[in-house]
Structure 1
Amino acid sequence: MPAPPEYPEVPHPHETTTGNGPAAVDLRDASAQARDNPRMAPPGADDWDCVSTAEHPEPVVLVHGTWGNTYSAWSGLAPQLKADGYCIFAPNLGEADITTGGGVQSLGSGVFATKDIALTAGDLADYVDAVLQATGTSQVDMVGHSQGGLLARQYLKFNGGAEKVGRLVTLGATNHGTTLNGLGTLDRTIGDLGLDLDPALDYVIGEAGIQQVYDSPLLTELNADGDTVPGVNYTAIGSRYDTTTTPYESTFLTAGPG
């Protein structure tokens, strides 16, 4: 059997970020700053001495999307939530390189969330456990953007997260996959003709990106028994103007029992 790929070493949960970055004016500014310092946390996040309040007892874990990082994704929202009295945690997750299916984007700076989503869900599980231990709480709330919402659901279903997450908010998440504005549809059509391009595309788009194309094995397994797990409060937010999760209706969830 071939040796498993050697992904970049997963940092200790407290070390997924390296200090807080400054305030950002907008997404373009945040992305530019993150390229220069790709591991910094957004303002207001990752205070491992934060004490939850009675008004907001659950810490909030923010999970970024594909090809992104936590600073560029959350430098607007994190300080607002912190000002409202929440303990905020925002890891960088899913690092891979070009040799382990990270895709060509992984050659750039500040690019995360390209690794196999099932493996990254295990890293998210370790991170949440560290947050619970640091804050002395029994549950977190979670907000996931794009792949971040899908990753959170993978964690809930397969990595013991259902008992550790009270609320999940997904923002434009690829919950039922994406056509990638037709590129995914073309890939599936070619696959139906007997030519599976996905292994090669892992090294172009990234393994996590290909896993988010509709009808992928990961999505099929995740959604096989319904969209939700009992005991978790879900909010799924989508936009008809979404150009990444297409069609945008695929972001929404159907509530199951409990």
Structure 2
Amino acid sequence: MIKNLSWSASTLLLALLPLLPASASAADDRHRAAGPDPVVFVHGWNSDGSTWQTMADRFRADGWPAGHLDQWTYNANQSNATVAVQLAEEIDRVLDATGAGTVDVVTHSMGALSSRYYLKNLGGAAKVDAWVSLAGPNHGTETARWCGGAPCIEMRPGSDFLATLNSGDETPGTPRYATWGSPCDSVINPADSVALDGAAHTTTACLDHSGLRTDRRVYEEVKAHIHPSVRR
């Protein structure tokens, strides 16, 4: 009888296994198997979405569907707070179009600021899985003193906009934050402006400001940050 009871208990356990909660690793595996999140690219000042072509082409070659790569263009002469509202609308559009639950946001230069405003102040942290800043003036750049208008004023070290943006937690919420900066970037001055408290930071090889968007090694590192399970 004991042998029969043992057999019955084992049979019951096997029958119940499909009903038990999946482990975190199993859930992660299913998430990865579903494919990478859509990527929303956010360009910098005096630029447009076409500047991401090299990186977007590499993502496509590595398995990202074309419809999951959004080379967004916006009016970069507006306040970064205004752009952040527009970015919120764009990300909602991408989520609706793709059916995804979250996006990854990859930014260059000033694009870091509007996207950070979105994450901190507009509920974006709940809709972004990974965030990337390439050559972002996250604590300001002296170069912005040579241009005018709202976004340039906001990029100047010590601006009211940056003081508010960097107050408290610089990397709020659950997104995985990462920054890349080059020792040869003459546009971001000082160079240590890029790094954020709470974000992984990488110092690149000697690249110019635009080179961080097109460098192969930087691309591979960005890809590993936003979706490490994807392989060529």
**When the two structures are superposed, what TM-score results if normalisation uses the length of structure 2?**
0.68
CA contact (8 A) 1:62 1:91 kept: yes
Which of 1 and 2 has greater Rg? 2
- In the alignment, the residues of structure 2 paired with residue 223 and residue 56 of structure 1 have an alpha-carbon distance, to the nearest angstrom, of 33
* Residue number in structure 2 paired with 1:251: 194
Q: In the comparison of the two structures, how many residue pairs are matched? A: 166
Q: Mark the runs of 5 or more structure 1 residues left unpaired by the alignment.
A: 1-51, 96-112, 185-200
CA contact (8 A) 1:132 1:138 kept: yes
Structure 2 counterpart of 1:120, from 80, 83, 86 = 83
* Residue number in structure 1 paired with 2:128: 165
* Residue number in structure 2 paired with 1:107: none
- In the alignment, the residues of structure 2 paired with residue 138 and residue 219 of structure 1 have an alpha-carbon distance, to the nearest angstrom, of 30
Deviation at 1:226, TM superposition (A): 2.4
Matched residue SS, 2:33: coil
Superposed CA RMSD in Å reads: 1.9
Amino acid at match of 1:150: L
* Residue number in structure 1 paired with 2:92: 129
Deviation at 1:161, TM superposition (A): 0.4
* Residue number in structure 2 paired with 1:84: 62
Structure 1 counterpart of 2:36, from 44, 57, 63 = 57
* Residue number in structure 1 paired with 2:48: 69
Amino acid at match of 1:58: D
Matched, 1:227 2:190: no
- In the alignment, the residues of structure 2 paired with residue 56 and residue 150 of structure 1 have an alpha-carbon distance, to the nearest angstrom, of 28
Matched residue SS, 1:226: coil
Deviation at 1:205, TM superposition (A): 2.1
Deviations 1:114-162 (A, max 9, x none): 2111011000000000000011111000100001112211110011100
Matched residue SS, 1:254: coil
Percent identity between the aligned chains? Answer: 36
Deviations 1:229-249 (A, max 9, x none): 120101100001111111111
CA contact (8 A) 1:53 1:85 kept: no
Runs in 1 of length 4+ with deviation above 2 angstroms? 52-57
Matched residue SS, 2:37: coil
